[in-house]
Amino acid sequence: MDREPTLVNDPTEPAPPALRNGLRTQLPWLITILGLVVLVVALVLVSDDPTEEVTTAPETSSPAVVAGEEPIADAAEVILPSVVHIQTQTGVGSGVIYDAERGLIITAAHVVDGHDTVRVRLSDGEQMTGTVLGTADQVDIAVIEIDPVDLPEAVFSLEKPRVGQLAIAVGSPWGLASTVTSGIISAVDQTNCSLETCVSMVQTDAAINPGNSGGALINRDGEVVGINVSIFTLSGANDGVGFAVPSDIAVEYAESIVTGVPIETPFLGVSVEDANDGRAGALITEVLGDTAAETAGLEVDDVVISVDGVPVLTRGDLVAQVRAHSPGTTIEVVVIRDGDEMTFEVTLGVRSEDLG
Domains identified in the chain, total number: 3
Q: Please give the residue that has the higher pLDDT: either 63 or 285.
A: 285
Quick check: is 177 in a domain? yes
| Shared-domain flag, residues 282 and 232 | no
Quick check: is 16 in a domain? no
Q: Please pick, among 82, 85, 94, 110, the residue that the annotation labels catalytic.
A: 110
For residue 34, what pLDDT is reported? Answer: 53
Taking only the tens place, the pLDDT of each residue in 92-145 is 999 999 999 999 999 999 999 999 999 999 999 999 999 999 999 999 999 999
Is residue 205 predicted with pLDDT exceeding 60? yes
Q: Please pick, among 85, 94, 123, 140, the residue that the annotation labels catalytic.
A: 140
Amino acid at 205: D
The confidence band for 246, taking pLDDT boundaries of 50, 70 and 90, is: very high
Q: Among residues 88, 110, 145, which one ends one of the domains?
A: 145
Is residue 28 predicted with pLDDT exceeding 60? no
| Shared-domain flag, residues 140 and 78 | yes
Q: Among residues 111, 145, 179, which one ends one of the domains?
A: 145
**Mean pLDDT confidence for 306-334:** 95
Which region among 33-47, 233-247, 253-267 has the lowest average model confidence (pLDDT)?
33-47
Quick check: is 271 in a domain? yes
For residue 68, what pLDDT is reported? Answer: 65
For residue 40, what pLDDT is reported? Answer: 43
Quick check: is 60 in a domain? no
Distance, in Å, from the CA atom of 119 to the CA atom of 104, rounded to the nearest integer, reads: 14
For residue 143, what pLDDT is reported? Answer: 98
**CATH code, domain carrying 97:** 2.40.10.10
| Shared-domain flag, residues 270 and 351 | yes
Q: Among residues 216, 249, 282, which one ends one of the domains?
A: 249
Quick check: is 346 in a domain? yes
| Shared-domain flag, residues 351 and 278 | yes
**CATH code, domain carrying 279:** 2.30.42.10
| Shared-domain flag, residues 132 and 207 | no
| Shared-domain flag, residues 282 and 349 | yes
Which region among 40-44, 179-183, 192-196, 336-340 has the lowest average model confidence (pLDDT)?
40-44
Taking only the tens place, the pLDDT of each residue in 158-190 is 999 999 999 999 999 999 999 999 999 999 999
Say what percent of the chain tops pLDDT 70.
80
Q: Residue 99 belongs to what domain range?
A: 72-145
Is residue 47 predicted with pLDDT exceeding 50? no
Burial class (CB in 10 A: 0-12, 13-18, 19+), 27: exposed
Is residue 204 predicted with pLDDT exceeding 90? yes
Q: What angle do CA 110, 184, 80 make, to 5 degrees?
A: 60
| Shared-domain flag, residues 121 and 173 | no
Instruction: Give the torsion sign (CA, 135, 140, 141, 144).
Output: positive
Quick check: is 209 in a domain? yes
Quick check: is 98 in a domain? yes
Quick check: is 217 in a domain? yes
For residue 197, what pLDDT is reported? Answer: 86
Burial class (CB in 10 A: 0-12, 13-18, 19+), 138: middle
| Shared-domain flag, residues 243 and 311 | no
Helices within 3-124 (DSSP H only): 17-46, 71-79
**Mean pLDDT confidence for 251-257:** 96
| Shared-domain flag, residues 173 and 207 | yes
Q: What residues have CB less than 8 Å from 75, skipping those under 6 apart? A: 166, 168, 218, 219, 220, 221, 222
DSSP 305: E
| Shared-domain flag, residues 229 and 274 | no
- For the chain, percent helix, then strand, then coil, each to nearest 5? 20, 35, 45
| Shared-domain flag, residues 277 and 322 | yes
Backbone dihedral angles phi then psi of residue 255, each to the nearest 5 degrees = -65, -35
Taking only the tens place, the pLDDT of each residue in 61-81 is 434 445 568 999 999 999 999
For residue 239, what pLDDT is reported? Answer: 84
Amino acid at 155: V
Write down how long the chain is: 356
| Shared-domain flag, residues 235 and 301 | no
Q: Please pick, among 157, 172, 200, 213, the residue that the annotation labels catalytic.
A: 213
Helices within the chain (DSSP H only): 17-46, 71-79, 247-259, 292-296, 315-323
Clarify whether 213 is annotated catalytic. Answer: yes
Clarify whether 110 is annotated catalytic. Answer: yes
